[in-house]
Structure 1
Amino acid sequence: MNATALKRKHLILVGAAASASALVLTGCSAGSGGGSADGDITLTITDTLSETSAPIYQEVYDACAAEVGVEVEATHVAGSGLIATVLQQASSRTLPDVLMLDNPDVQQIAASGALSALSDYGIDGEGFPQGIIDAGSYEGDLYGIAPIVNSIGLFYNVDTLAEAGVEPPTTWAELQDAAAALTSGESYGLAFSAANSFEGTWQFLPFLWSNGATEDDLNSVEAAESLQFVTDLVQDGSASSSVVGWSQNDVNDQFIAGNAAMMINGPWNMPKLNATEGLNYDVVQIPVPESGDTSIAPLGGETFTVPQTGDDAKMAKAGEFVDCITQDEHQLTMATGRGAVPSSTTAAAEAATENELIAAFVDTVADARARTALLGEEWPEAATTIYTGVQLALTGRASADEAFEQAAG
């Protein structure tokens, strides 16, 4: 998931350790039937792929290497250590030719001068929702483009809701009533992550934004209302007080175990949910304050960028390569393999027709908001204030009216 953004001071301190832990896997497109005949250019790629997702991307890497006429070498670095590695590479002039960045990190790296504008390679994100463009932009220029994206929605156990005679909620009032009605014994009506981390902020944002609040004015009435609503779910017992320590993986495990009838989570969990025998689930957009309001959720997903390496020929090929991997057919390949939504509107519509469960996320992504769109490089500070305030309110250490102010202090 894609909800982390670390501060530069911390990143520099951990840079050496992160670089040392990188795992290198190489894919040679020429050896798989493609690539340049003379092997003049080999593009280096640094991404944050796991052992599970790397083969899915390698298929696309190889196809685009063949199309562009290059060979590729991919290095997979743990997401938590990537930015430290990138800052170290920038200072030593050893940046890769193609770099994957979580979208909240694009602005920080672009501001350092380490990236080239994608317009130099004819990439403008045409056909992509504005939120996706915003997520990859810095000071009006597009620096990163995401072939697939994600967000969060409300998953529910179809059988449990049917047995209780509860309809999937669409408004806050309906969610509150449904969560209370579905709470019984050791099973809660709703599970979500309110962890003391950027993950907790990520899961709170739909309540904040859909109520008209913004991260640059957390002392607003709308922000307090959003926090009070979430706090009430915990205080009335519809959600476990343990949410303050749960990651999104923990939330998914609670849902699978039958300890929650509903949960807030993302489409990346679908492969595990689908593999759970006897689990009948569905997903809808996260409920809004009032009927007719727009559900606004945060946009997740990794972007591909072209670093400033000083090698014009390789940068031009890298630009062609990034343009290739963001084409609709490759978006669909990656989205299917990772449980995500293709970025382009046309590819997303095709994905929704092929998988009804992804349809709610396609609608969500169309209105999703980039976390850095409003505050840019200052987003991590606001995100820290948000998750700290949520923790204060949910643990009873501050009222919803005072929690964000106390957190900022």
Structure 2
Amino acid sequence: MRDTRRTLIAAIAAIGALTSVAACGGGSDSSASGSGKAGGTYNFWDPYPQFDASSAWGKLVSKCGTDAGVKVKRTGMDTTDLGNKALLAAQQGNAPDVMLVDNPVVSTLVEAGILNKTSDLGLDTKPIQKNILGAGEIDGASYGVPIGANTLALYYNKKVLTAAHVDPASIKDWASLTAALKKVKSAGKKGITFSAINTEEGSFQFLPWFWGAGGDLTKLNSDKGVAALSLWKDWVGSGYAPKDVLQNTQTTSWQEFATGEYAFGENGTWQLGNADKAGFDYGVISIPGQNGGSAPVPTGGEFVTVPVQKDTSRYDVSKKIVTCLTNSANLLATDNTLTYVAPTSAVQAEQVKSNPKLEPWVKAVAAARGRTSGGLGTKYPTISQPMWTAVQAALSGGKSPKDALDTAQTAAGKGN
């Protein structure tokens, strides 16, 4: 019991480090789940407090309960709050029946022993893209079904690039992107904005450049990692990126891009609605790798999971609810509502057919990878925090990129 409690405490600390990186905001609902009985009430938690019972999402959750012959009591709360409360509820023996959690949190909950394997529940994950499913896999086993995915790319302002005589199709690698930023600055406009804040959002935004250089998260201070951090530092030093990237969240970074002054903004799928309201023509390109091609980008999005219950007879209904939420017909409506790319190729095709602007995002998601993939699991938070700290140290001028990442690697090693 003492070991279990220690594991839960460690898991709560890990979840505290993994804040949500998507554009989901709002408060939390402090109500906890009840035990409930089959045919009665089933408890469902999700990280969407912005959607009430009258929303399309709220109605779908309710309908999935009705179709399964039960009533679903839905509680929406922010991502960090949900993870912490899930761990505490499991410790107290009253975890919700079904829970939607941010993908990097899955491994933490698995280590705490509170999630069921999808194979044990008989849930079908075969149609799901392997790289999306991988964000919820630990030691080869899947522990949830992804509801959808989002990721990062570069938005660009067509007017700014035209004035600077830059063709977005010419941007193939870091050198061509930096050359474009130089032209934009010479034309009197601003270059690129992104988030380098000292939270998970900063790591999330740095990863495409880190991975795009061939970086390995277990070797933060490799020459490849140093190259990525040096790129960002050089941009800030040359005035191609603003110094306030150190304080920028993805939301404030978007607000800068939306002024119309910037050529590029690194941001996510969730900003598509805002992009249409920005008042200027825009386009989207993949984040380039150092030497060409699309850089791997981190997978965002949530997994529908089934927490461990003392009463295992409840799993049959929970499985029906999960299956309902993740079938093709409902995924299309849900992912369009959440501005997510669907986790299956069939639904992705339907999304692009109804909204061609999603095509570059489908390609970006295809190249994406889970932050906890590759066997990192719960080690990821102990790597991410030193990494975002290194980014802060280098961009502020406190340390060279090499020294900052040397310090980060030492700290990450102690965390593991």
Give the structure-1-normalised TM-score. 0.88
Note the 1:243-282 alignment, pairs <5 A.
243-276=245-278, 278-282=279-283
* Residue aligning to 2:24: none
Please say if residues 12 and 88 of structure 1, whose CA atoms lie closer than 8 Å, have aligned partners that are also in contact: no
* Residue aligning to 2:236: 234
Please say if residues 12 and 83 of structure 2, whose CA atoms lie closer than 8 Å, have aligned partners that are also in contact: no
* Residue aligning to 1:8: 11
For residue 361 of structure 1, report the CA deviation from its aligned partner.
1.2
Please say if residues 173 and 291 of structure 2, whose CA atoms lie closer than 8 Å, have aligned partners that are also in contact: yes
Report the aligned-residue RMSD: 2.5
Alpha-carbon distance in structure 2 between the residues aligned to 1:263 and 1:21: 30
Note the 1:10-409 alignment, pairs <5 A.
10=13, 21-22=28-29, 40-52=39-51, 55-168=55-168, 169-183=171-185, 187-276=189-278, 278-291=279-292, 293-374=293-374, 375-407=376-408, 408-409=410-411
Alpha-carbon distance in structure 2 between the residues aligned to 1:404 and 1:284: 29
* One-letter amino acid of the counterpart of residue 210, structure 2: L
Deviation string, structure 1 residues 303-331 (Cα, Å, up to 9, x no partner): 11001112223211101211221112211
For residue 13 of structure 1, report the CA deviation from its aligned partner.
9.6
What SS does structure 1 have at the residue aligned with 2:382?
Answer: helix
* One-letter amino acid of the counterpart of residue 29, structure 2: A
* One-letter amino acid of the counterpart of residue 105, structure 1: V
What SS does structure 1 have at the residue aligned with 2:314?
Answer: helix
Moved more, 176-185 or 102-111: 176-185
How many residues are treated as equivalent by the alignment?
386
For residue 178 of structure 1, report the CA deviation from its aligned partner.
1.3
Alpha-carbon distance in structure 2 between the residues aligned to 1:237 and 1:250: 18
Deviation string, structure 1 residues 134-175 (Cα, Å, up to 9, x no partner): 111122211121111100000011222123221122311111
* One-letter amino acid of the counterpart of residue 391, structure 2: V
For residue 76 of structure 1, report the CA deviation from its aligned partner.
0.9
* One-letter amino acid of the counterpart of residue 265, structure 2: M
* One-letter amino acid of the counterpart of residue 356, structure 1: P
Q: 1:129 to 1:21 in 2, by over 3 A?
A: closer
- Consecutive unaligned residues in structure 1, runs of 5 or more: 1-5, 15-19, 27-37
Deviation string, structure 1 residues 72-100 (Cα, Å, up to 9, x no partner): 11011122211211111011111000011
Alpha-carbon distance in structure 2 between the residues aligned to 1:346 and 1:71: 30
Deviation string, structure 1 residues 37-74 (Cα, Å, up to 9, x no partner): x9923221011103247723223213322332222110
* Residue aligning to 2:22: none
Please say if residues 195 and 253 of structure 2, whose CA atoms lie closer than 8 Å, have aligned partners that are also in contact: yes
* One-letter amino acid of the counterpart of residue 44, structure 2: I
What SS does structure 2 have at the residue aligned with 1:396?
Answer: coil
Q: 1:284 to 1:228 in 2, by over 3 A?
A: same
Deviation string, structure 1 residues 245-272 (Cα, Å, up to 9, x no partner): 1000001100111232210000111122
* Residue aligning to 1:35: none
Alpha-carbon distance in structure 1 between the residues aligned to 2:228 and 2:15: 35
Alpha-carbon distance in structure 1 between the residues aligned to 2:239 and 2:15: 42
Please say if residues 170 and 285 of structure 1, whose CA atoms lie closer than 8 Å, have aligned partners that are also in contact: no
* One-letter amino acid of the counterpart of residue 335, structure 1: D
* One-letter amino acid of the counterpart of residue 233, structure 1: W
Please say if residues 53 and 338 of structure 1, whose CA atoms lie closer than 8 Å, have aligned partners that are also in contact: no
For residue 185 of structure 1, report the CA deviation from its aligned partner.
8.6
Alpha-carbon distance in structure 2 between the residues aligned to 1:381 and 1:266: 24
Alpha-carbon distance in structure 1 between the residues aligned to 2:16 and 2:181: 44
Alpha-carbon distance in structure 1 between the residues aligned to 2:268 and 2:348: 16
Please say if residues 151 and 361 of structure 1, whose CA atoms lie closer than 8 Å, have aligned partners that are also in contact: yes
For residue 12 of structure 1, report the CA deviation from its aligned partner.
9.4
- Consecutive unaligned residues in structure 2, runs of 5 or more: 1-8, 18-26, 412-416
Deviation string, structure 1 residues 104-154 (Cα, Å, up to 9, x no partner): 010111111111111123224212222211111122211121111100000
